[in-house]
Amino acid sequence: IDLKINQFKVNSLPSSFYKNSYFSVVSSTFALKMREPSVGFTEKEIKPILYKHPFIIHNMPGVLKHLKAMGFMTFSKWFDESYDLISDRKQRADAIINELKKLSYKSLDELKSMRLEMNDVCEFNKKRYKEYFDNKYVKEGYNREIENFINLAWQKLNNNE
């Protein structure tokens, strides 16, 4: 994968990555920091949502439960998400690896079909993120610079840049 330099002068996955793959495996910084008292989200978890891409998240236990509580949908119809309940880091990582192995045995036709079935969930999550962001940050008057950045990102995503 050729990484491109984003607006922060950091390597970033190009949007074509999301168009040319079936799902994302997100490995969050928080998965390695068990000292944190709660589940946290970074751009790593948000990018697949914005790009309408299915995901498996390696984060702290309960991340999927937390996403659902925030009104998002997950992909339990297609992925075994029981890893989200495992508190031991190694066992949780092993469960994710086992799920990825199962997915690797699927044919390309099966993966394409599965990905098409996921489109409604992906669309819903993107709309939910915009709604959540607007309610949490725009209506409550948080940082206008962040609002402007997100609006620019929406424009670029909608123009497939």
The per-residue pLDDT for range 88-143, each reduced to its tens digit, is 989 999 999 999 999 999 999 999 999 999 999 999 999 998 888 777 766 655 55
Q: 65 near 95, Cβ under 8 Å?
A: no
Q: How far are the Cα atoms of 3, 6, 112 from residue 9, in angstroms, in the given order?
A: 11, 5, 34
- The residue among 132 and 64 whose pLDDT is bigger is 64
DSSP class of residue 136 equals I
Q: What is the pTM of this model?
A: 0.73
Q: 63 near 92, Cβ under 8 Å?
A: no
- Residue 146 binned pLDDT confidence (cut-offs 50, 70, 90): low
Closest CA to 36 of 60, 52, 68, 72: 60
List Cβ neighbours of 62 (8 Å cut-off, separation of 6 or more). Answer: 39, 84, 85
List Cβ neighbours of 111 (8 Å cut-off, separation of 6 or more). Answer: 22, 103
- The residue among 43 and 101 whose pLDDT is bigger is 101
